[in-house]
Structure 1
């Protein structure tokens, strides 16, 4: 019995020299191994601190570069693309000038087209693709107005648009625009009305009461429900329009032909307001759309003055030629 107790005592003394923590035997095997590993001293890869520390300096050592000063090729290309990004976006969003004279090549007529002609126009897929492309570009504004009048030999005719005036009489623009300088506006929404006003307000201050000048407003509603509602509110509409302009305010309903009206005039976005300066020969000499810029407003004002002066000179020469000798 004594030898066994002595053997156990020797084993116990041998186990006390392993420096195992007292609570390590109560842990699971994996946790116990991690606990023992954490108690071992870790080797450090950092160099030992020097006994003579160097003085601080604002100049970095050439052998060590800071992370901010290092730039990988990927970072360089990313920064270059960031710098070039705004210019490319600005080019994409730049609104082009009016590319062609708006209007139709032949003098307008009040005779309607046949059903077969209209059916061929509706099935033209290329025109529909061009329309969708124009709607998605530049936030809706389609062009910037020309700085000067369109030359008479290159100008095209304003198409015939029919409707009813606020006097409840049938009206065709072909007869209404003849022998006058006309400022024609196309609107269909409240936003388009604001666009139009941004163009025409200074011009009306100069010419609204001058002979030979007229403002023609065309309110177009292609939706049958909206068109019907507009007829119910004609009395309230009359209160917003001066009585002397009731005869030149046209309410037009139904869809306009893409070949005869919207296409030639460049009406690709129905939410915008459009302004056309038409001479006494029914030719479109200036056009604008969307909200007017200060330059566009001043250009329209100048173009109207030039066109009115030329018309007065032409009529003065005609009146002199018609006088008896």
Structure 2
């Protein structure tokens, strides 16, 4: 869990961030595990907890309702953004008209200096915001940030390589029903797009 940058880079050169293949089929509800709760902040400074699920409490009236399907894209280094886009863009295009589908891109910031309150506030002001065309339709691309030490969060999800991207499809109870790694391949992307409608049909 505490291995260094060079170990991550060596692994990245071997497989390009594809540490494992994505699920081909949806994970049955009975076998699915809960996604660990994590606090995130928007660029305007508002904070809330993900995932938003039936068992969680909404922070305020501005928070969205509980979705039937949520795609959480995790990025620990800026280098993985292209990997995240390879999943997020087709997902957004496929379900842009669905009100009960959410898409979050979570950037993790663990630098001690950047986590200090004055620096963090300044950083949030200049952080990138979704383009207007990203939020046309009910499905909004929401870019959020998580500051601090994420050791135990990563340990729970078995995340070791910080240079690759991680993608999780959750149901309305916050359970992981599908997951992918690195950049999407032409064989993997259809599995994500076919599993999502199954969550929308679940009671």
TM-score using structure 1 length: 0.49
Aligned residue runs from structure 1 range 83-102, under 5 A? none
Say which of 254, 257, 261 aligns to 2:151.
Answer: 257
2-side partners of 1:223 and 1:234: how far apart? 17
Provide the secondary structure at the position in 1 that maps to 2:26. Answer: coil
Q: Is 1:222–2:99 an aligned residue pair?
A: no
Provide the secondary structure at the position in 1 that maps to 2:87. Answer: helix
What is the aligned partner in structure 1 of residue 163 from structure 2?
Answer: 271
Q: Is 1:150–2:27 an aligned residue pair?
A: yes
Q: Deviations over 1:228-256 (max 9, x none)?
A: 4784363451264756848x432111111
Higher relative contact order (CA 8 A, sep 6+): 2
Aligned residue runs from structure 1 range 23-62, under 5 A? none
Provide the secondary structure at the position in 1 that maps to 2:90. Answer: helix
Alpha-carbon offset, residue 277 of structure 1: 0.1
Q: Is 1:298–2:186 an aligned residue pair?
A: no
What is the aligned partner in structure 2 of residue 141 from structure 1?
Answer: 18
Q: Is 1:196–2:84 an aligned residue pair?
A: yes
Pair 1:211–1:168, CA change in 2 (3 A): same
Kindly tell me the number of residue pairs found equivalent between the two proteins.
179
1-side partners of 2:112 and 2:131: how far apart? 23
Provide the secondary structure at the position in 2 that maps to 1:220. Answer: strand
Q: Deviations over 1:27-81 (max 9, x none)?
A: xxxxxxxxxxxxxxxxxxxxxxxxxxxxxxxxxxxxxxxxxxxxxxxxxxxxxxx
2-side partners of 1:223 and 1:217: how far apart? 19
CA contact 1:208–1:215 (8 Å) conserved in 2: no
Say which of 124, 128, 132 aligns to 1:237.
Answer: 128
CA contact 2:45–2:124 (8 Å) conserved in 1: no
2-side partners of 1:231 and 1:209: how far apart? 34
CA contact 1:185–1:275 (8 Å) conserved in 2: yes
What is the aligned partner in structure 2 of residue 206 from structure 1?
Answer: 94
TM-score using structure 2 length: 0.75
Alpha-carbon offset, residue 134 of structure 1: 8.1
Provide the secondary structure at the position in 2 that maps to 1:301. Answer: helix
Pair 1:236–1:165, CA change in 2 (3 A): closer
Alpha-carbon offset, residue 219 of structure 1: 1.2
Alpha-carbon offset, residue 300 of structure 1: 0.7
Q: Which one has the largest radius of gyration?
A: 1
2-side partners of 1:157 and 1:229: how far apart? 29
Q: Is 1:164–2:56 an aligned residue pair?
A: no
The runs of 5 or more residues in structure 1 that have no matched partner are 1-126, 315-325
The runs of 5 or more residues in structure 2 that have no matched partner are 55-65
2-side partners of 1:231 and 1:157: how far apart? 33
2-side partners of 1:133 and 1:236: how far apart? 29
Say which of 69, 73, 84 aligns to 1:185.
Answer: 73
What is the aligned partner in structure 2 of residue 27 from structure 1?
Answer: none
CA contact 2:130–2:143 (8 Å) conserved in 1: no
2-side partners of 1:186 and 1:219: how far apart? 6
Where is the helix percentage greater, Structure 1 or Structure 2?
A: 1
What is the aligned partner in structure 1 of residue 60 from structure 2?
Answer: none
